[in-house]
Amino acid sequence: MRTQVAIIGAGPAGLLLSHLLHLKGIESVVLESRSREEIEATIRAGVLEQGTMDILTEAGVGERMKKEGALHHGIELSFGGRRHRIDLTELTGKAITVYAQHEVIKDLVAARLAAQGSILFGVSGVQPQGIDTENPLVSFMHAGEKHTLQADFVAGCDGFHGVSRPAVPESVRQDYQRIYPFGWFGILVESAPSSDELIYAQHERGFALVSTRSPTVQRLYFQCDPKDSVDNWSDDRIWNELHTRLENSDGWRVKEGRIFQKGIIGMRSFVSTPMQHGRLFLAGDAAHIVPPTGAKGMNLAVGDVKLLSQAIEAFYRKSSGEQLAAYTENALKRVWRAEYFSWWMTSMLHTFADASPFQQQLQRTELENVVNSRALSTALAENYVGAF
């Protein structure tokens, strides 16, 4: 088998890269270890920046997102028993859209297959080879047989636990990492949204987040011990915890409903540099992770593949490797901005078990400053919508 770009991973990064390349007349093959059903059912992100929407729309995969996604012009910060609105649109002229990542995945898979794009699901033993040469290849198993995919480039879009990043030799790689001492307990709930806008709540018992998925499904999260087990959390215990953390003086309460999914995720900040080696280019979670508090992960993945698709196009159209050479440097500017913002939101909103009373007072003061100062509200809003 031979193609121009071998793409490992059919997450948002891999599928969108394949589609953007196709629109520029460049061939690719996507290798995915899971099944189509699995990738289309995995519950992850929900918040799309305006820039992400624009890229998906330009790529011709934005139709359902425009119809079914919910445009949000603000978010709320809850602390000290009160909610405070950050008017994203007034402060930045932009908005965000809540549309589930697995719906984006469904739209991208449908678009790739409609264009006769090649996605191989259920592959195993994927291994990039010869990335230091001009003839790299990826070996893998599919339907019980060993295959080799030769390509001009290999795109590692296989997420944090994939095989691509380890293919960059340790001698040239530098990893930056912070693991947080807490996780998020996430639930899906059958009920109408409790709030028109997302609510990020700081409480002494820990952070909580009210988000939505659709007019009939809510997505709720609360800070927990990352080593805790979902079995320790009965529905009653979950609702008690959410009511306590989201309590506020105007009598608003989160709406209860049937909980039909529970899960715990760990939280980390992580950046690996360089995001390329020879003919291998990393994009999305394969190269960097942010804690979900800033809602940036999928948006970063989309930003990376936009840059990478443009650089690959320049290589074929203009025989210029300049943009490819600058890929890491260009991608990392935005990545580090999002790393900073996600770390900052996480630090401001979560409860740290080892925080001294002095640090707790500073945290509360920071929240008050953010909601009371137009300059600080604007800084939050600009980062949240991805305005710069």
Residue 47 beta carbon to ligand PHB: minimum distance, rounded to whole angstroms: 5
Q: Among 74, 136, 156, 297, which residue interacts with ligand RFL (rule: CB under 6 A)?
A: 297
Q: Among 62, 128, 162, 257, which residue interacts with ligand RFL (rule: CB under 6 A)?
A: 162
- Residue 219 interacting partner from ligand PHB, ligand RFL, none (CB closer than 5 to 8 Å by kind): ligand PHB
Question: By CB under 6 A, is residue 10 in contact with ligand RFL?
Answer: yes
Residue 333 beta carbon to ligand PHB: minimum distance, rounded to whole angstroms: 22
Q: Which residues are catalytic?
A: 72, 200, 292, 296, 384
What are the phi and psi torsion angles at 103 (to 5°)?
Answer: -75, -40
Distance between CA atoms of 199 and 130, rounded to whole angstroms?
48
What are the phi and psi torsion angles at 176 (to 5°)?
Answer: -115, 130
- Residue 293 interacting partner from ligand RFL, ligand PHB, none (CB closer than 5 to 8 Å by kind): ligand PHB
Question: By CB under 6 A, is residue 292 in contact with ligand RFL?
Answer: yes
Q: Which residue has the tokens 């080892």?
A: 354
Question: By CB under 6 A, is residue 193 in contact with ligand RFL?
Answer: no
Q: Among 78, 223, 269, 293, which residue interacts with ligand PHB (rule: CB under 6 A)?
A: 293
Strand-pairing partners, residue 281, are 155, 276
Length of the chain counted residue by residue? 388
Map the footprint of ligand RFL across residues 254-283, applying CB under 6 A: 265
Residue 25 beta carbon to ligand RFL: minimum distance, rounded to whole angstroms: 23
Nearer to ligand PHB, 207 or 327 (CB): 207
Which residue is at the shortest CB distance from ligand PHB? 46
Select the span of 39-47, 125-133, 224-232, 356-364 touching ligand PHB (CB under 6 A).
Answer: 39-47
Residue 64 beta carbon to ligand PHB: minimum distance, rounded to whole angstroms: 17
Residue 99 beta carbon to ligand PHB: minimum distance, rounded to whole angstroms: 10
Q: What does the radius of gyration of the chain's CA atoms come to, in whole angstroms? A: 21
Q: Among 299, 328, 346, 383, which residue interacts with ligand RFL (rule: CB under 6 A)?
A: 299
**Residues contacting ligand RFL: total by CB under 6 A:** 36
Q: Among 47, 91, 210, 287, which residue interacts with ligand PHB (rule: CB under 6 A)?
A: 47
Question: By CB under 6 A, is residue 298 in contact with ligand RFL?
Answer: yes
Tokens of 318: 């203009």
Map the footprint of ligand RFL across residues 41-60, applying CB under 6 A: 44-47
Question: By CB under 6 A, is residue 292 in contact with ligand PHB?
Answer: yes
Question: By CB under 6 A, is residue 291 in contact with ligand RFL?
Answer: no
Could you list the residues that contact ligand PHB (CB under 6 A)?
45-47, 198, 211, 219, 292-293, 295
Could you list the residues that contact ligand RFL (CB under 6 A)?
8-14, 31-34, 39, 44-47, 101, 123, 126, 157-159, 162-163, 186, 265, 284-286, 292, 295-299, 301
